[in-house]
Amino acid sequence: MDFPKIDLAAIPGLETATGVFGSVAQSAVSYDDTVVAVMVYIYESVPV
Amino acid sequence: MHVRPEIAALRSDKAKQARLRDAMDAAQARWRARPQVAQVLADLKCYAAGAELDSLARLNELLGSFEHAEALVAQWCRDFLGPLRHEPLAQVPLRHHYGQGFATMQLASEGGAALSLAVYEEKADFTPPRSAVFSDRELHELVLAGSGGASIHQVRGGHGARVRIESERRALRAGSRLAIIGGHAARQIGQVAGQMVILQLTRVPDRPGLTREYAIPSGELPMQSSGDKRASQCEMAMAVLGAMERRDAAGAIAEMAQSGPDHLRWEALRHTLALDSGRGMRRLERIASEAGDPLAEPARRLHAQLLAAHPQLADREAPCPA
């Protein structure tokens, strides 16, 4: 049988959303000292 | 964009680029080969493999003794600043970063462990933070120079969207030590006088738990994110394959809904449903029927919601293993 196409946007996420690695807001933080982790993440994701 | 003439000249001079690279690689090799450094690096390897810090004499001594730490860092400065004085445009072949009052230089790394120097600068516009980031890692620090303050936060109870947090302030000066272990503790550097230099040893587990940002002092959770970069890489790969409508990836993505962090499994489920609703429904039913699976309840709700929106999904044959 033909299954209907389900729109991704119509499928809810979990109650508590979880951002990708390194995506904590840091807006209220005095020193952004988690930046190293983000940098490592990019280095290891992108072949250089 | 303004490019200084000496940098423009270097861009077109491949031979000089190679010379500078060789000079810095030689500096690094020289530093790493120094006996006291080599012993620390050997310990760092064991630490990355899971050994406890207090079982590693050299590394423990380094983080516990101002004199040892200062000597190691002074040696690093001598080995790297020497060539840099002759060739200021050479790049230090180590991960480093500078911005917004914070600088870091990763002296060495092994697996999930790293030994770094961090510099916190006094900020004229310093405002006390309203939240703190709790990440699943082990952090040992020794202040090498300068002074400042830190807040140590501990999650003492509660879970999910609200926890109880106890905080204490610590005055830091040369020789001060801090140890923050696991995702239920966090430290924040507060106001710094001038500059404060810290030697940091960090270790991240193979499969780190979530990173959570809690409001201080209320303990509310404004945001959480994955602490595992491999899980996030998978999540992004799924998003790309989904956007490309790669139906041929649905089987591999459906497999990822079976185990791993909850948020990653749920994303895998969403993408499987969007790419191949028949396969997605079978996987959804399987998860919904697993007593004890933390995703069973949301899976049951989603199942009901999808059947209401697409009644023809109910006409499928009896579920078979996905």
pLDDT digits 0-9 by tens, B297-316: 999 999 999 999 998 888 76
Residue A46: pLDDT above 50? no
- For chain A, say whether B265 makes contact (Cβ under 8 Å): no
Confidence of residue A17 (pLDDT cuts 50, 70, 90): confident
The pLDDT score that the predictor gives to residue A40 is 52
Is residue B270 within 8 angstroms of chain A, CB to CB?
yes
What DSSP string runs through B241-279? HHHTT-GGGHHHHHHHTTSS-HHHHHHHHHHHHHH-HHH
- How far is Cα B152 from Cα B92, in angstroms, rounded to an integer? 33
For chain B, give the mean pLDDT. 92
Residue B125 has pLDDT above 90, yes or no: no
Using the Cβ of B227 and the Cβ atoms of chain A, whether some distance falls under 8 Å is answered with: yes
Residue A48 has pLDDT above 50, yes or no: no
> How much is the average pLDDT of B232-239?
92
Residues in A closer than 8 angstroms to B160, CB to CB, are 16
Question: Which of B29-33, B85-89, B125-129 has the highest average model confidence (pLDDT)?
Answer: B29-33
| Tens digit of each residue's pLDDT (9 = 90 or more) over A27-43 | 556 676 765 455 555 55
Question: Mean pLDDT across the stretch B117-121?
Answer: 95
Q: Tell me the per-residue pLDDT of B133-189, one tens digit each, with 9 for 90 and over.
A: 898 999 999 999 999 999 999 999 887 788 999 999 999 999 999 999 999 999 999
User: DSSP string of B91-118?
Assistant: PPSS-EEEETTEEEEEEEEETTEEEEEE
- pLDDT at position A45 is 47
Q: Is the pLDDT of residue B49 over 60?
A: yes
**Minimum-distance CB partner of B242 among A8, A31, A40:** A8
Q: Which domains does chain B have, with CATH numbers?
A: 12-225 (2.60.120.10), 229-314 (no CATH)
- Closest chain B residue to the Cα of A22, Cα to Cα: B225
Chain B residue numbers touching A26 (CB-CB < 8 A): 133, 213
Is residue B131 predicted with pLDDT exceeding 90?
no
Q: What's the number of CA atoms in the CB half-sphere (13 Å) around residue B26? A: 10
Considering only the beta carbons, identify the residue of A7, A15, A29 that sits closest to B274: A7
Q: Which residues of A touch B (CB under 8 A)?
A: 1, 3-8, 10-26, 28-37, 39-41, 43-45
Record the pTM: 0.83
Which residues of chain A are within 8 Å of residue B120 when distances are taken between CB atoms? 31, 33
- In percent, how much of chain B has pLDDT > 70? 98
Query: pLDDT grade, residue A47 (50/70/90)?
Result: very low
Write a three-state SS string for B131-172.
EEEECCCEEEEEEEEEEEEEEEEEEEEEECCEEEEEEEEEEE
The pLDDT value recorded for residue A27 is: 54
SS3 B119: strand
pLDDT above 50: residue A14: yes
The percent of residues above 90 in pLDDT, for chain B, comes to: 78
Nearest CA distance, B209 vs chain A (angstrom) = 11
Average pLDDT of chain A, as a whole number: 70
Tell me which residue in B225, B277, B313 faces A24 most closely, judged by beta carbons: B225
- pLDDT for residue B23 is more than 60: yes
Tell me the shortest Cα–Cα distance from A48 to chain B, in angstroms: 14
By Cβ distance, the residue of B104, B302, B312 closest to A4 is B312
Question: Could you read off the pLDDT of B256-277 as tens digits, one per residue?
Answer: 999 999 999 999 999 999 999 9
pLDDT score, position B93 = 93
Q: State the distance between the two ends of chain B, measured CA to CA, in whole angstroms.
A: 55
Q: Say if B98 is an interface residue toward chain A (CB within 8 Å).
A: no
| Interface probe with A: pick from B100, B213, B238, most Cβ of A within 10 Å | B213
Interface of B with A in 26-85 (CB under 8 A): none
Chain B interface test: which of A1, A2, A3 (most B C-beta within 10 Å) = A3
**Residues in contact with B55: Cβ distance below 8 Å, sequence separation at least 6, in sequence order:** none
pLDDT at residue B18 is higher than 50: yes
Which of A21, A38, A42 is the mutation pick for testing B, counting most B CBs within 10 A? A21
- B317 vs B249, more confident: B249
Chain A residues in contact with B235 (beta carbon < 8 A): 20
